[in-house]
Chains A and B, each alone.
Chain A
C-alpha cells in the first residue's frame, strides 16, 4: 500500500500516490493547469526532461521543508512531496519561460505545416498557438539536414524534429533491436540510422505515433489527406503480435491509415504492430466498435457536428457562428 500525499497545483489540491510526478498529478486534475509535454511519454521509461516545456515553479517544497525551489523544474521528472505547492499557469515566470522555450523550438522548425501530414494532430502546432508569438525574432537561415531514407513505411523529415528522443525510447523498449539513434551534438544532432539502413522491425511503426511533430510520418498515408477530413473509428482485430486495438481513419469507405488509439494526453493506449498499421487497410479485416471520441478542442473534430460547440475562431465571428448552427442542424437531422 503506497502512501498518499497532497499536492496543490495552481490552487487546486489533489491527493496522489507518493512518487507520482507533478505532471501526472496535474493530469489527474486535468484542464488548463496541465503543463504541456513534448518529450515526456508515460509509457516510455526514462523519457522526459528534455524539451523543457513542462517547466513549473515550486513555490513550496513540502510540509517538512517549505522552502521554494530556486529554479523552475521539469514537472515530468520531479516527484511530488507531501504539501508541495506548484504554480503553473498562475506564475508569470513560468509563462515567460515557456514562451521562450516555444520560441526556441520554433526558430529552426521549417513551419511547413501546409504540406506536413502531422498538421492537425501536431503537438508543436498546438503549443505554438497557445504560447508562441506571431512573428519570429530569428533572422538567420533555418537549419537543414541531408535527407536520408529509413525505409518504405516511415518517412523521416529531420528538419521538423525537436529531438524529444521518444522514438529512440520506443526502439529501445518495444523492438528487439534499435536501428536508429541520435547522431551529432548540439544543434547538429539528428535522428539517423548511422549507416543508412531501413528501419524494419515489427513494432518500429510506433515511432510515428509517439513523434510529437511531423518528423516521423506514415509513408502509406503520405499526402493522401488532411487528418481533419478523415473520420476516426475504433476497431479491433485478432492479432497475434499486439493488442489489435486501433483507430481506423476513414475517408468515405476507404481506410486511409491505421494508428494506435490516443488518449486525452495524446499518448497511445497500447502500442500496435506494423502488420496492423501498414497491411490491414480493408474494413473486412476489422471489427468496428464505433466512432473515436476526439476532444472538441482538436481541429480534427471541427468538421464533425456532433456537438454544437464550435472552435473559438467560429465563435468570434457571428456570420460563421450562424452558418455553423445551420450546418449542425442539417447534419444532425439525419441522426
Chain B
C-alpha cells in the first residue's frame, strides 16, 4: 500500500461522499420508476377515454373508484378522466425535466465528465429535417 503514496483518505469523508452519491442515485432510480408508473397510468386513462368515446348507447356507466363501483354520468366521467389524463402528462413532463439536473449532478459527484450537449435545446422539426439529410 506504500506505493500509493497518497495520504490516507478520511474514512468519514469517504463514507459521506458515498452516501451522497447513493442518495442521488436512489433519487434517479425512483424517478425512473415513477416515469414508468405514470406512463402506465397515462396509457390506461387513454384507453378509458377511447372506450367512452366509442360508446354511444347508455348515458351512465360504471366507474371504479378505489375499490368501489359507482354509476356516473358519461359527461362528467369523461371530464374527470380527461383532467386526470392531462395531469399525468404534465407530471411526466415535469419528472423528465427534473431528471436531467439530477443526472448531471451525479456525474459531477462521480467525477465524470458531463455529457456533451446535454443542456442544449432541441432543434425544431423543420430544422432537424434539413439537418437529417446530412446525418
* A in complex with B: no
Chain B residues within CB distance 8 Å of chain A:
none
**Which positions in A face B, CB cutoff 8 Å?**
none
